[in-house]
A and B are shown apart, each in its own frame.
Chain A
Amino acid sequence: MIPFDYRRAQDPADAVTAVAERPGAAFLAGGTNLVDHLKLGVTAPDLLVDVSRLPLDGVESLPGGGLRIGAAVRNSDLAAHPVVRERYPMLSRALLSGASGQLRNAATTAGNLLQRTRCVYFQDVTTPCNKRDPGSGCSAIGGYTRYHAILGASEHCIAVHPSDMAVAMRALDADVIVLSQDGERRVPLADLHRLPGDAPHRDTVLDHADLITAVELPALPMARRSTYRKVRDRASYAFALVSVAAALELDDGMVGDVRLALGGVAHKPWRASTAEEHLRGAPATVETFRRAADAELAAAQPQPGNEFKVRMARNTIVAVLRELAGAHGMGGEHR
């Protein structure tokens, strides 16, 4: 192992300063992703600033009905939180569908958002990868693509963001609270993760020494009827082939409002805005759901080896919307 320094941050500002002072420093939270990468040689920070014990582990209701989730809240605690389960069930389900019980006990909110892709070539330092080693080439293109993107990829990188939690948060229009040496700012989750473009080594818009302190969810009454569906290669402990986070509000047989986001398809949690537009105000029928899904996926550019994801995403979107519509008493219309 490459020797590195370890330091436990005293408070958020101290953490930011400590990382800002060393270009090779990194924040350490649960370590379930970062420590793996240290062992694999994917990254080699010379200082780890431990933020997992900062007092950022609260979940608080906000005036106006929103929810503030501390950056260090453990995934399992967040999933089990009564307010989350009641008001944002899709988030609870997304969390519980990820990783394993042991990992969720260690993993944190911020660490989960900032976990890196599971692309096998990225994780294997003996294979070229633009994300790990800019300019070295993308091994996935023309290689093993089963877990890769169908939307928003570039010729430089076709990786997907692996988080389940982030997909639900994207559907919920979450904001990320970031502390830097310049003070605190609010970054919409929509803008946090990037598409790869010609700089796939940059997963997010955050800079070195930007500390995530919290995630805020807006009040969204419709999210009480929401769900998360993850399609995967085994029943647990597998990343999504495709996942769907959705909330649906019906108004007399018509779609009043809808939130729809996809996982496993892009370099960022993918908000299905095109589909949402098709859905709003349209009759809540399977036919509408299909058309909306097709409209969203019209832009899909699968790789040889993951063409199936287009149909899988479409079917899953339809199934999830059908299920949510069914929960509104529209169960009769099945496929």
Chain B
Amino acid sequence: MTLQANAMGTPTRRLDGAPKVTGTAPYAYEQPVKNPVYVHAVQSGVARGTIRSIETVAAEAVDGVVAVLTHRNATRLADVGDDELAVLQSDSVAFRGQLIAAVLAETPEAARHAARLIQVTYDDEPADTELRADREDLHAPEGEDPPDDRSRDEFAAAFSSADVRVDQTYTTPMLHNNPMEPHTTVAVWDEESEVRLTMFDSTQGVHVVRSTLAPLFGLRPEQMRVVAPHVGGGFGSKGMPHAHNVLAGLAARAVPGRPVKYAVPRQQMYALTGHRSPTIQRIRLGAERDGRLAAISHDSVEHSSTVKEFAEECGKPTRSLYAGAHRLITQRLATLDVPVPSWMRAPGECPGAFALEVAMDELAEACGVDPIDLRIVNDPELDPKTGHPWSSRRLVECLQEGAERFGWAARDPEPGRRQTGGTLVGMGVAASTYPCFRSPGSVARIEVTDDGRYSVRIGAVDIGTGAWTALTQIAADALGCDMELVKLEIGDTDLPHATVAGGSSGLTSWGSAIVEAARILRHEHGASPRVGTTVEAETPDKPRGVAVHSFGAQFAEVHVDPDTGEIRVPRMLGVFAVGRVINAATARSQLIGGMTMGLSMALHEVGVMDHRTGHVVNHDLAEYHIVTNADVGDVEATWLDDVDPQANPMGSKGIGEIGIVGAPAAVANAVYNATGVRVRDLPITADLLLR
């Protein structure tokens, strides 16, 4: 049964808002610790090879240096089969920027200075870092079966006999998560204590940090504690521990009893904390003359690293978004000498929807139908991927309501014709979708405390999304009490296990556990349980036999200067169907944040890899451009009045990622409408539109 909403649905202010804006909310690095040691890391200067020599004498001689760690003296770690985490364990170098040494010093300045004095020579080998679709070594990701010959043949037949065909290739560049708060860890190793290793970490999941790192250091889970008090964003890059976490542990191990503080410098994040792989995507759409899709194919190529495989699954949205009898989705990877790719907001869906949704715009033009109508005629009754019914699918309503609000009728379908004041004007639309994941294994504990309140404990993390507030609202409604009576504790492995804040799954996974615990409490102990009463419950299983997705429609208006090609986006609108919105204020922030990040991807962001060296050369925020305030016009997000009872007990679905899905395509389609220039390779920059 869906929970009755009282606190839910209100735009309750962030509980952590005041401490954050007054600067009193302690982030991981700001944990008060006594007598800390500071860490500064050294990165490899070659992309592939072995370290021949590493000279640390000069660094060790710097005043204030406590220790220099290299592969020669760092603690041996247990092999857990994840080479990204095998930090300082061997002399081999697998990508440029890999951690190869670290200085521990009494001050950050001494550590940084000494790190620069470390002399390294390499036996370097030619590195291979360039992704191309014509490489001969492309291979399917581990564990994925490529489509069989029959489905290939059927697709080919359907495609070649289609009335209207689109066959184009789209690319997106290497992208970097760049959360506002860099990755930071404060770690203490204590031989005397039951808990050997304590970490204050800027992470999206305390339990995953512990379960990953404890075995490396030969610890049982109880011997390690991870705390994530406040987190300044992650966008996936803090969803699993990366090499820097291991380095923090190694450093702590080297100076038992002394806290070590490690903040990854912004410049080093580009190689160390994950990135989105560049993608090359071929889309083929075969349709009847009215736009009805008969054949859809999405072939994508991404890079992965020799250290660890990660696949950016671009085909995901194409499996479910539109009807069409014949569907062919393939993915191939090139394993290159590059930093380890990882999750970045809507991995797969985001770049995948860029390609698919620009191709749909091209198809609409080829068929002479409105892009909105094209999406309406191809709205599938059942999920094409699973054949299951949708829990709810209101994409068409999102498109229609958005068109109305945005003034879509004013769009001239003929590109390059509308001008105001000498500026080219265009509009674009794209669909958004994201699955509603529920991760198993979170546990919520509710205890009745002697002040007559409810202590709600779960090891979830609020990475700035507003989860703290929204979970409190959910708990209040689940318990049928005022929010003031709920005391929520999160962000600590001392609390019951919780899954990672990722895949837009947080509220569904953690909230469902809280609702279940509250249900048991009321069921077993009534309306006024005794002080000390404690119940625990795990996230119930996800619903079966039903496809649960969020949907949305995104609109963009683009202005292009005909002389310089400069692009401005005065307004964007997203209309979403995301189930019940638990907190209107924080939800809006998530949605417009995603849309803004999508705008940034459309027009600005590109990690420039110099293939001669495997180095991301524009590795700071002056050179790696992210939208500034001046680039962001009126970005509005709104949603349908929606409750999806099948999604979870709150009737809500995830909202953290859907905002970025579709936004880049809406902008790209608007650029085409404004100029008549179809740019299929992101980012779309002024030079590409010059005449």
Contacts and interface: CB of A to CB of B under 8 A. Distances in A.
A236 B617 CA distance: 21
Interface in A282-335: 308-309, 311-312, 315-316, 318-319, 334-335
B572 to A, nearest CB: 15
Contact of B628 (A2, A127, A236, A335): A236
A234 B600 CA distance: 10
A120 interface: yes
Interface stretch (B346-354, B361-369, B497-505, B559-567): B559-567
Interface string A91-123: 000000000000000000000000000101100
Contact of A308 (B608, B625, B630, B687): B687
A127 B615 contact: yes
Contacts of B629: 236
B564 A1 contact: no
A127 B617 contact: yes
A39 B610 CA distance: 23
B564 A319 contact: yes
Interface string A141-175: 01110000000000000000000000000000000
A63 B449 CA distance: 81
Nearest to B107: A1
A235 B628 contact: yes
B618 interface: yes
B612 interface: yes
B563 A237 contact: no
Contacts of B615: 124, 126-127
Interface string B531-570: 0000000000000000000000000000000111110100
Given A235-B630, A334-B422, A144 B608 contact: yes
Given A143-B617, A334-B422, A312 B625 contact: no
B686 A312 contact: yes
B631 A120 contact: no
B617 A311 contact: no
Interface stretch (B108-116, B231-239, B286-294, B372-380): B108-116
Contacts of B631: 234-236
B690 interface: yes
In this complex, the interface size class of chain B, counting residues with CB under 8 Å from chain A, is: 35 or more
Contacts of B690: 308, 311-312, 315
Contacts of A125: 116
Given A234-B625, A238-B625, A144 B564 contact: no
B623 interface: yes
Contacts of A139: 610
Contact of B564 (A142, A235, A312): A312
Contact of B623 (A1, A120, A143, A235): A120
B306 interface: no
Contacts of A319: 563-564
Which of A41, A142, A233, A241 is packed against the most chain B CB atoms within 10 Å?
A233
Contacts of B612: 142-143
Which of B110, B604, B629, B631 is packed against the most chain A CB atoms within 10 Å?
B631
Nearest to B631: A235
A143 B690 CA distance: 23
A315 B563 contact: yes
Contacts of B45: 126
A315 B566 CA distance: 12
Interface string B658-691: 0000000000000000000000000001110011
Nearest to A125: B116
B627 A234 contact: yes
Contacts of A231: 564, 566, 686
A139 B613 CA distance: 10
Interface in B617-640: 617-619, 622-623, 625, 627-631
A335 B619 CA distance: 40
B563 A318 contact: yes
Contact of B618 (A1, A120, A126, A234): A120
B603 interface: yes
Q: Could you tell me the dominant secondary structure of chain B's interface residues?
A: loop
A126 B422 CA distance: 46
Contacts of A143: 610, 612, 617
Contacts of B564: 231, 312, 315-316, 319
Contact of A233 (B110, B113, B608, B625): B625
A120 B603 CA distance: 20
A126 B47 CA distance: 13
Interface string B99-113: 000000000011011
A2 B113 contact: yes
A126 B610 CA distance: 13
A234 B625 CA distance: 8
B231 to A, nearest CB: 25
Nearest to A99: B622
Contacts of A238: 625
Nearest to A318: B563
Which of B45, B568, B628 is packed against the most chain A CB atoms within 10 Å?
B628
Nearest to B109: A1
A311 B689 CA distance: 11
A118 B629 CA distance: 22
Contacts of A312: 564-565, 686-687, 690
Interface string B573-589: 00000000000000000
Contacts of B628: 234-237
B686 A234 contact: no
B625 A235 contact: no
B541 to A, nearest CB: 46
Interface in A1-37: 1-2
Contacts of A235: 568, 628, 630-631
A110 B200 CA distance: 45
Nearest to A36: B622
Interface in A205-248: 231-238, 241
Given A126-B45, A127-B617, A319-B564, A144 B627 contact: no
A237 B615 CA distance: 24
Contacts of B109: 1
A66 B422 CA distance: 36
A234 to B, nearest CB: 5
Contacts of A309: 687
B251 to A, nearest CB: 20
A233 B604 contact: yes
B116 A41 contact: yes
A319 B562 CA distance: 10
A220 to B, nearest CB: 26
A127 B613 contact: yes
A241 B617 contact: no
B617 A124 contact: yes
A271 to B, nearest CB: 21
Contacts of B565: 312
A170 B562 CA distance: 27
Nearest to B111: A1
B15 to A, nearest CB: 31
Contacts of A144: 608, 610, 617-618
A164 to B, nearest CB: 15
B610 A233 contact: no
B242 to A, nearest CB: 21
28 contacts: A1-B109, A1-B112, A39-B112, A41-B116, A118-B623, A120-B623, A121-B617, A124-B615, A127-B615, A142-B612, A144-B610, A231-B564, A233-B604, A233-B625, A234-B630, A235-B631, A236-B628, A238-B625, A241-B686, A241-B687, A308-B690, A309-B687, A312-B564, A316-B563, A316-B564, A318-B563, A319-B564, A335-B562
A-B interface, 5 closest residue pairs, ranked by CB to CB distance from nearest: A308-B687, A235-B630, A319-B563, A236-B630, A1-B109
Interface of B: 43, 45, 109-110, 112-113, 116, 422, 562-566, 568, 603-604, 608, 610, 612-613, 615, 617-619, 622-623, 625, 627-631, 685-687, 690-691
Given A2-B113, A120-B623, A234-B625, 11 more contacts: A1-B110, A125-B116, A143-B612, A143-B617, A232-B566, A233-B625, A234-B628, A234-B631, A312-B565, A312-B690, A318-B563
